Amino acid sequence: MSAGAHGRHERPAGQEPIPLARPVLGAREEQAVLEVLRSGHLSLGPRVAEFERRFAARVGAAQASAVSSGTAGLHLALRAVGVGEGAEVITTPFSFVASANVAIYERARPVFVDIDPLTLNLDAEQAAAAVGARTAAILPVHVFGYPADIERLEQTGVPIVEDACEALGGAYADGSAVGSRGHPAVFAFYANKQITTGEGGIVISGDRAVKERIDSERNQGRAPNMDWLDHDRLGFNYRLSDIACALGIAQLERLDGLLAARARVASLYREALGDIRELTLPCEDSGRARRGWFVYVVQLPAGVDRDRAVTELGAHGIAAKPYFPAIHLMSYYRQEFGYRRGQFPVCEDVSDRSIAIPFYPQMGEGEVARVTQALLSVLGRARGSQVSLAARSR
Ligand SMILES: *Cc1c(COP(=O)(O)O)cnc(C)c1O
């Protein structure tokens, strides 16, 4: 739908649409990529190990393996903790679909438990109660960068694989960096994440054996000292190129600035939206836990047509997206596993009312104000009043 089709919603001339996300890339990134191109060593070269070393140091992990995506990393991490055919993996239905799909790759079954209504992370008590004879792993997701209750999950004694794909820069309740507890933890570098390599991911852990296995399985099952004609286990091509790793190194160098900018935009939003009582904003940090800001997701009040709100925000030039759709209600999951509406009521309620709004480091007060006005307008009309964007902005 074009904004021009709705006279009332026409944007003032010169106002660009505001996207959901936008990477920060500059001369350092260009130079780093160019150096790799000129070296001719595009893959299996020196940038891979360098990126791994620097990333591990940054998050306080002993080991790191760069891989082709966050999904690939989660897949290899589940294999590394022993998830296989017939096993169960306890996880959250409120996530990006990849965190559940990876169990299915290994013919294991994702077992969902409901989420905490405040943090939106899997409810650790319910996860502990769901542990059974077939449970091979718990896969918590640090949703929207807020750390899951990892200490409680550790008490179950079940192997843990952390989906930290949204949580770079976050800290657990004890103040230590997400990823630093020794479990395999996976970060991702798609263009909307805190840092990007275009596509990419990394698995960190405290265990040398996990790294050795993942390094082999990402490269067709070849041991490091083995001739390329022989492979001693099944593997994949989940490698990350030197071009991507060079980009990642340049992004890591500016990580502090990127995280600070995201936190600044989040506080601008809290200031601007805090008074709108209809909206539920992301929970604030509790104790020493810290959110690694990734997206800004607000919950609309019950009764507002969420999908229509997204369309109307689009007409104002503001990108927005339902975020997340519940995984167990996706057609594949309903058909394959028999999941149905009503099983995870907190997740379903939150998921029905949540939208991601524009959030990226370069956002300024002007953009935040435009998003705020558009949201007010959408909420006003949803309540039946005819307040227009123009009237609100005066
Ligand atoms: C981004 C993300 C992933 C990984 O995505 P890729 O596109 O495979 O890198 C996994 N889980 C969550 C929760 C994510 O947000």
pLDDT tens-digit readout, 329-362: 999 999 999 999 999 999 999 999 999 999 999 9
Q: What is the pLDDT of residue 15?
A: 82
Return the axis-axis angle of helices 255-273 and 242-253, rounded to nearest 10°.
60
Instruction: Answer whether residue 387 shows pLDDT above 70.
Output: no
Q: What is the pLDDT of residue 298?
A: 98
pLDDT above 70 covers a percentage of the chain that reads: 93
Q: What is the pLDDT of residue 4?
A: 41
Q: Is the CB of 292 under 6 A from ligand 1?
A: no
Mean pLDDT of 151-161: 98
Q: What is the pLDDT of residue 9?
A: 52
Q: Which amino acid is at 9?
A: H
> 232: pLDDT confidence band, cut at 50, 70 and 90?
confident
Q: Is the CB of 141 under 6 A from ligand 1?
A: yes
Q: Is the CB of 96 under 6 A from ligand 1?
A: yes
Question: Atom of ligand 1 at shortest distance to CA of 99?
Answer: 11
CA-to-CA distance for 51 and 71, rounded, in angstroms? 19
247-277 tens-digit pLDDT = 999 999 999 999 999 999 999 999 999 999 9
Q: Is the CB of 91 under 6 A from ligand 1?
A: no
Report how far apart, in Å, the C-alpha atoms of 146 and of each of 290, 347, 356, 385 are: 7, 16, 15, 36
CA-to-CA distance for 93 and 89, rounded, in angstroms? 12
CA-to-CA distance for 146 and 125, rounded, in angstroms? 17
All domains in the chain, ordered by first residue: 27-253 (3.40.640.10), 255-383 (3.90.1150.10)
pLDDT above 90 covers a percentage of the chain that reads: 89
Residue 321: helix, strand or coil by DSSP? strand
Q: Whose CA is nearest to atom 13 of ligand 1?
A: 96
Written as six digits, the tokens of 108 are 């294991």
74 alpha carbon to ligand 1 midpoint, in Å?
Answer: 9
Pairing of strands 201-205, 135-139: unpaired
Residue 252: helix, strand or coil by DSSP? helix
Q: Is the CB of 162 under 6 A from ligand 1?
A: no
Q: Spell out the alpha helix ranges (H) of the chain.
A: 27-39, 46-59, 70-80, 98-105, 124-129, 150-154, 208-217, 242-253, 255-273, 306-315, 331-337, 345-353, 365-382, 389-393
Q: Whose CA is nearest to atom 5 of ligand 1?
A: 70
> 393: pLDDT confidence band, cut at 50, 70 and 90?
very low
Q: Is the CB of 67 under 6 A from ligand 1?
A: no
Mean pLDDT of 46-63: 97
Tell me the pLDDT of the chain averaged across its residues: 93
Lowest mean pLDDT among 67-71, 103-107, 225-229, 295-299: 225-229
Q: Is the CB of 98 under 6 A from ligand 1?
A: yes
Q: Which residue has the tokens 């792993």?
A: 137
| CA triple 143-148-153, angle to 5 deg | 140
105-141 tens-digit pLDDT = 999 999 999 999 999 999 999 999 999 999 999 999 9
Percent helix, strand and coil across the chain, each to the nearest 5: 40, 15, 45
11 alpha carbon to ligand 1 midpoint, in Å?
Answer: 33
94 alpha carbon to ligand 1 midpoint, in Å?
Answer: 13
Pairing of strands 201-205, 296-299: unpaired
Instruction: Answer whether residue 2 shows pLDDT above 90.
Output: no
Q: Is the CB of 71 under 6 A from ligand 1?
A: yes
70 alpha carbon to ligand 1 midpoint, in Å?
Answer: 5
Taking the model in full, what pTM does it have?
0.93
Kind and range of the H or E run holding 297:
strand 296-299
196 alpha carbon to ligand 1 midpoint, in Å?
Answer: 12
Q: What is the pLDDT of residue 381?
A: 58
Q: Which residue has the tokens 């705020």?
A: 372
Question: Atom of ligand 1 at shortest distance to CA of 72?
Answer: 8
CA-to-CA distance for 269 and 359, rounded, in angstroms? 9
Q: For ligand 1, pick from 75, 91, 96, 354 the residue to mutate: most ligand atoms within 8 Å of CB.
A: 96
165 alpha carbon to ligand 1 midpoint, in Å?
Answer: 5
Catalytic residues: 193
Q: What is the pLDDT of residue 384?
A: 47
Instruction: Answer whether residue 205 shows pLDDT above 80.
Output: yes
Instruction: Answer whether residue 207 shows pLDDT above 90.
Output: yes
CA-to-CA distance for 170 and 288, rounded, in angstroms? 10
